Structure 1
Amino acid sequence: LVSALLSYFVNYKQIVLSADQQEYKIQYSYKASMLAKLLCQILAIRYLPNGYVWWLVLEVVFAVVASVTLNRVISHTYPYLETDMDRGKELAKKYPNILTKVKQLFFHKIAGFALTQSSPIIIYVYTTLTIVALYGNYMLVILGVITFLTAMFNGITAGIGNLIAQGDKQHVVDVFEELFSINFLLSSVICFGVYKLLPSFIELWIGSDYLLDNTTLILLVIYTYISLTRQVIHAYINAYGLFGDIWAPITEAVINIGMSILLGYFYGLNGILTGVLFSLFLIVFCWKPYMLYMNGFKIKFSYYIVMYMKHIAILTICLVITCFVLNHFELEANMSLEYFVFSVVVYNGLFLVILFGFSFCVLRSFRSFLYRFLNKI
């Protein structure tokens, strides 16, 4: 409770760093403290008596330390904020659209919470607590890789907002295509690794009794793919402030829960996941890009479809080539931790090299991003 309340009353100030394109300072201060906390908790629960009590104590201690560190960074970066804190009401009247955007965003956040938190409950209703635990193990890993890629793209929203403010629409679209291409590459490689190696990781981690069937794994990979590839579109929607479609997250939550209940009754866990994917496909995969192109870029949505089909065609070719090569030397990734790491390098490395090569040869946006990146270095 203390850790959660600090986020509302103290750590909210970090949004200033994000908006000022200085999110790296958040990583250095707050996130570094959280990493140290996690390592100490692991050691405490493993070696100290009453490890769970120590876990909670460390949670509180490091939450306070992280908050103090973060606020010192903010005070050092923006010393004038302390004297301007009493201007809130004045600025709220001057910029009323901010409160409007916050109210709109509230619906998106609540619906997103319902979307992610309802599935375990529905799974338990139609299956067993054991299936919920198996599903939780898989989602623990999947949400980890989603969080990892999300963290990589979190810092670009403020930069995109600055780019949009310059008013060069063509440049904005070009940068979007560049970011979309690199995000597509990383998302595809991650999803390929999840499909090929997640069962082996689960077996190595907690045993073969905790494996789910291959159909469930495919559905989870599709969920991971949609969640990862939405990052750039989500960043541009935030930069444009396109939160007026409050019906969309509500509709997404209703479709998700309704279809999950209906399909879960007939098909169990796979039916519930299909219901989740159905809502994600309609709102996240279809509607969000359409809204961005029509209301943000103000260009034809067909440009996005053509661009996306190019990426899908390249991905399909690379998957066929990679699977053809790997079929000649299948690896047993569950033998040991060392061999599993070796398998990760081989599977993901091979696919990354092939996809990178095709993307560089075919996609102008990918080449532009690479040249821009190299020039910055």
Structure 2
Amino acid sequence: MDRTEHVVKNLKFAAVSELVLAVLKFVSRRVFVLLLGKEYLGVSGLFTDILSMLSLAELGFSVSITYSLYQPVAQGNTTLIKSLMQLYRRVYRSVFVIVLAAGLSLTPFLDFFVKEMPENIPNISLIYVLNVVNASVSYLFAYKSTLLFVYQKKYIDSLIRTAVSVIAAVAQIGVLLITGNYVFYLFIAIGAALTQNVLISVKTDRLYPYLKKTDISPLPVEILHDIRRNVGAMILHRIGAVAIFSTDNILISKFVGIGTTGLYSNYVMIRGFLNVMVNALFNAITPALGNLNATETEQNRQAAFRRLNFFSAWLFGWMSICLLWLYDPFIRIWLGGNYLLPRPVVLIIVINFYVNSMRIPVANTKSVMGLFWDERYKSILEPPLNLAVSILLAQRWGIFGILAGTLISTMALPFWVEPLGLYRHGLKQPIGEYFLRYLGHLLLTAAAGGLTGLACSAAGEGLFGFVLRLLFCILIPNAVYLAVYCRTSEFCFMKEMAKRIINKFF
């Protein structure tokens, strides 16, 4: 099976599974809001961000091991794969203990994270403890899914997770409708997390029976050295990522209020659905990139990145336009007008989505090239800058200031440092080309978004107006992109690739 066939198979399963899960999540959120209210949403979002900070215990080990697995998998070196997986298992069992212990130790300090703790939520400490358990158990068997990913069999992981998640979501909706008890809801989530990880582990062992063999050789010294070096760099990367992406709800809860956190969580959920679809797409592509990096020439790697970046600019530009003009109409239909945020806040949410999404092709290409070390200092400066700017602006502009602080810190460091490292150490090309292309993509997206907005302003309200806006968002931006990009070499390549994928898909 060639790279394209692997990508198509992974993408097919991922697309179907994520669409099914998205429908269930939106239905579940609707039931959640009706029965529990926005305070519970705010608490859920707050605890998610607190536990995301505890994911620092993982230290970026997964990315480092994934990179180390690409070459032995491409070469069929099962001896080295077994040694790496044993190390991976030991580390993740330690991470499980650390996350559980650290999470439970924060229980007495929950009041610190909230401006005003809601009085209508009973057993809030128990709710937090169950969230900690749910987050920690996911580390027990998670390392097995990484091997499926590197072997380009992510579709197996998608199938298992979807089946378990569908059953769990139906059970959670039923529990909320019958009892209205959030604690029971969380117990089901914990059971689902354990079940899906056990099933993935069992399936991986059956596919690769050599994993059960006990004749495991010590890892070569040079590989251990590379892993330690990469993990050392990834610690800093993880700190930077958590400081940027996992503190917004905490700051909103602290400086604005838990109710606003609940409103923001709905926007995050919709954005999260797009992120899941994007991750599914890039998870289907990345193993093929890793294989290409291990086997192809420097010129082919350069061409692959240019095509990936072009595709990303088109995709994320279109998604951002859709979010800008469909966010509020969708939430109004889905949950009601009382769950809307001000338009300036929506705009900054969309800008953050575009800027951070455009980092994905750079980050994925760097990860398959193993470029973790050279920009480690960026991640030291990023957290204090983000927190300082966000807290300063929060006191003047509330939630808008917090999200603007995230944008400012992103533009100040990772926006230019990450591609600079890729071009200097990986692609070995001048960086100017990247930023010129980025500016061109951004200006075109702004123009397409403006045209789409003019059309949407005449669409009206209600379900019919939303459908009309949706059609405008699908047709106008893509027509603009097509008119401008149709003669570029990247578009011609993507068109041929799309034909191959469609043929294989069906």
TM (norm. structure 2) is 0.68
Aligned partner of residue 242 in structure 1, secondary structure = coil
2:144 partner amino acid: K
Mapped to 2, the partners of 1:292 and 1:122 lie a distance apart of: 32
Mapped to 1, the partners of 2:185 and 2:470 lie a distance apart of: 34
Match of 1:19 in 2: 150
Match of 2:269 in 1: 140
Task: Report which stretch shifted further, 147-156 or 312-321.
Answer: 312-321
Match of 1:149 in 2: 278
2:152 partner amino acid: Q
- Is 1:189–1:351's contact at 8 Å kept on the other side of the alignment? no
Distance 1:293 1:118, change over 3 A: same
Pick aligned residue for 1:122 from 241, 251, 260: 251
Match of 1:78 in 2: 208
1:6 partner amino acid: V
Mapped to 2, the partners of 1:316 and 1:255 lie a distance apart of: 28
Structure 1, residues 186-206: CA drift from partner, whole Å, max 9, x if none? Answer: 211211111111111222233
Aligned partner of residue 429 in structure 2, secondary structure = coil
Match of 2:438 in 1: 308
- Is 2:263–2:339's contact at 8 Å kept on the other side of the alignment? yes
Distance 1:38 1:369, change over 3 A: same
Pick aligned residue for 1:228 from 357, 381, 396: 357
Residue 267 (structure 1) aligned with residue 397 (structure 2) = yes
Match of 2:90 in 1: none
Match of 1:250 in 2: 380
Aligned partner of residue 217 in structure 1, secondary structure = helix
Task: Report which stretch shifted further, 204-213 or 296-305.
Answer: 204-213
Structure 1, residues 335-366: CA drift from partner, whole Å, max 9, x if none? Answer: 24xx3652353132223431442254143212
Pick aligned residue for 1:57 from 187, 192, 197: 187
Match of 2:236 in 1: 107
Select the structure with the greater relative contact order (CA < 8 A; seq sep ≥ 6): 2
Mapped to 1, the partners of 2:484 and 2:203 lie a distance apart of: 40
Task: Report which stretch shifted further, 363-372 or 109-118.
Answer: 109-118
What is the Cα deviation at residue 168 of structure 1? 1.3
Pick aligned residue for 1:95 from 223, 226, 248: 223
- Is 2:449–2:477's contact at 8 Å kept on the other side of the alignment? no
1:345 partner amino acid: L
Mapped to 2, the partners of 1:49 and 1:124 lie a distance apart of: 27
Unaligned residue ranges in structure 1 (runs of 5+): none
What is the Cα deviation at residue 94 of structure 1? 4.9
Mapped to 2, the partners of 1:369 and 1:312 lie a distance apart of: 20
Match of 1:37 in 2: 168
What is the Cα deviation at residue 86 of structure 1? 3.9
Match of 2:500 in 1: 375
Mapped to 1, the partners of 2:288 and 2:322 lie a distance apart of: 30
What is the Cα deviation at residue 219 of structure 1? 0.7
Pick aligned residue for 2:422 from 287, 292, 298: 292
Unaligned residue ranges in structure 2 (runs of 5+): 1-131
Match of 1:199 in 2: 328
Residue 158 (structure 1) aligned with residue 293 (structure 2) = no
Distance 1:147 1:282, change over 3 A: farther
- Is 1:111–1:250's contact at 8 Å kept on the other side of the alignment? yes
- Is 1:92–1:99's contact at 8 Å kept on the other side of the alignment? no
Match of 2:196 in 1: 66
Distance 1:85 1:343, change over 3 A: farther
1:142 partner amino acid: R
Aligned partner of residue 350 in structure 1, secondary structure = helix
RMSD value over aligned CA atoms?
2.4
Residue 171 (structure 1) aligned with residue 296 (structure 2) = no
Task: Report which stretch shifted further, 5-14 or 52-61.
Answer: 52-61
Mapped to 2, the partners of 1:253 and 1:94 lie a distance apart of: 32
TM (norm. structure 1) is 0.89
Match of 2:39 in 1: none
Mapped to 2, the partners of 1:85 and 1:217 lie a distance apart of: 56
Distance 1:219 1:106, change over 3 A: same
Mapped to 1, the partners of 2:322 and 2:447 lie a distance apart of: 17
Aligned partner of residue 91 in structure 1, secondary structure = coil
Mapped to 2, the partners of 1:85 and 1:208 lie a distance apart of: 62
- Is 2:286–2:364's contact at 8 Å kept on the other side of the alignment? yes
1:193 partner amino acid: C
Structure 1, residues 194-232: CA drift from partner, whole Å, max 9, x if none? Answer: 111111122223322332222111111101111222221
Match of 2:460 in 1: 332
Distance 1:101 1:295, change over 3 A: same
What is the Cα deviation at residue 2 of structure 1? 4.7
Distance 1:367 1:39, change over 3 A: farther
Distance 1:198 1:324, change over 3 A: closer
